[in-house]
Structure 1
Amino acid sequence: MLDIQKVRADFPILDQKVNGKPLVYFDNAATSQKPQQVIDAISKYYSEINANIHRGVHTLSQLATDAYEASRKTLQNHINARHAHEVLFTAGTTHGINLVANGFSQFVKEGDEVMVSAMEHHSNIVPWQMLCERTGARLTVIPMNDRGELIMEEFEKLLSERTKIVAVNHISNSLGTINPIKHIIDKAHSVGAAVLIDGAQAAPHLKPDVQALDCDFYAISGHKACGPTGTGILYGKEEWLNKLPPYQGGGEMIKEVTFAKTTYADLPHKFEAGTPNIAGGIVLGTAIDYLNAIGFENIAAYEQELLEYGVQKLSEIEGIEFVGTAAKKAPVISFNIKGIHPYDIGAIVDKMGIAVRTGNHCTQPVMDRFEIPGTVRASFAFYNTKEEIDALAEAVKKAQRMLS
Structure 2
Amino acid sequence: MSEAAAAKRAVRKAARGKAVRGKTAVTFAARLDLEHVWRRYGEAYALQDVTLEVPASTVLCLLGPSGCGKTTLLRIAAGVERPSSGRVLVDAEEVAGPNRFVSPEKRGVGLMFQDFALFPHLSILDNVAFGLRSLTKSQGRAEALHALERVGLAQYAKEYPHILSGGEQQRVALARAIAPRPGVILMDEPFSGLDSQLREAMREDTLAIVREARATCIVVTHDAEEAMRMGDRVALMQKGRIVQTGTAPELYRAPSTLFAARVFSDLNEMRSTVRGGRAETPLGTFPAKGLAEGTDAIVCVRQSGVRLLKPGKGTPGRILDTRFLGDVGLVEVAVQGLDDPVLARVREADVPEKGAEVGVAVDEGAILVFEAGNGDEGPSP
Q: TM-score, normalised by structure 2?
A: 0.28
Compare CA radii of gyration and give the structure with the larger one. Answer: 2
User: Quick one: higher RCO (CA 8 Å, sep 6+), 1 or 2?
Assistant: 1
From the two aligned structures, give the one with the greater helix fraction. Answer: 1
* Structure ranking higher in strand proportion: 2
